[in-house]
Structure 1
Amino acid sequence: MSRASGVPVPTIKFYLREGLLPAGELTSPNQAHYGEAHLRRLHLIRALTDIGGLPLASVGKVVEAVEDHERPVHQLLGAAARTVDLALPDPVDSDGAVRVQARAMADELIARRGWEVKPGHPAVEALTAAMASVLSVGHGDYLDYLDEFAAAGERIAAADLAFVARRQRPEDLVERVVVATVLGDAVLAALRRLAQVDASARRYPPQAPESSSDSSSG
């Protein structure tokens, strides 16, 4: 498994001790067999830590969700998403009134879009903190485009759930939620940057340098 994954043996043993990897099938008192499921779990752990930047404690919660087969699907997917939810951004200094204004905007957006989201959801808190920071630095008109951002989020969420629904086993569903949430964020951030570069070039096209014949006098 170490050769197949590129993960050092001591690291794999650590994951086994921490319960992040399930035990292999014993073939002798000091040997065990590890199959494709173990290798896939190992790749998931490395992707969450290396690309997603999750601490091992959060990865452990992901594993718990993956292995919990008793919950209804919506609760199961919600539990998986909560383990890798958005971290609250470091807020720009703002007074309580700004925070209240941002929370009201978040609540109004959720109601306007008809989203079925509980008020205490971590994503609501993350959105509130982010918008409070935007307001505090004097660029509140950025939030004029909030519904456009929300509409894009709805399309992305629909694509995420279509990806998740391609598998039916609970452990596959949970694993795919984690992939779409953690690694999907990395993909989306890169795509947004690329789209910004393209949009900037179209809105503010670079001027071609003047040729020597055009700039010469006479």
Structure 2
Amino acid sequence: MKSDRTRPFPLAAFAVAAFCVLAGNAFAHGSGAGGSRAGLDIPEIAHGEMAVISDYRSRIIELASRAVDTNEPFRRVLNYAEIQYSYCLWGRVPGSVTDEESPFNECTHAYLAAAKAVLFSMREMPREAVAAGELISAVDADMVRRGLALVTCQFSGQAFNTADVVKPRWSGIPFHAASMALLTAFASLLVFAVFGLCRLLRPTAQSSE
């Protein structure tokens, strides 16, 4: 009986952790432009670039996180890229990169534009210049190979700013099948996790007798 009651715990831990991250981000960064410091401008990213930068994002962030000779603007843009990534549910929503109609497409533009800005900043750093240059060359080659250079969308000309967190269009989720399916599954998992925790933490007086 004990093993049956503890089985839901891994799912519960995952669901509750994810919920806490999202809630924490909402409280910590939800005000966006309300900060005491002016934000930094981030150049726009074309819709065609997004698919390629998305494929290289983890390598870009990994290289940036190891950078030693950094400055405050670089760190702020990198931090913005990671905040935006979590707001977009870590890029897990189907169609968030490729589907212009996705409620997560604009916020995906934001974190990928920031990742691109971080990559090009590292090209000017002595220790990271070579690795950054290799990544830029690989991105350019992929863009040409896949014919994505001229692909645009409604957000392609939109610049961003580190003071303004771009959130998903939550009101549009019910009208976007892929987003709705994923978040419905997540909500079901969360309900199951809460139910599992309640069973796990239920008083054991009867069983001890």
TM-score by length of 1: 0.23
| Larger Cα-atom Rg | 1
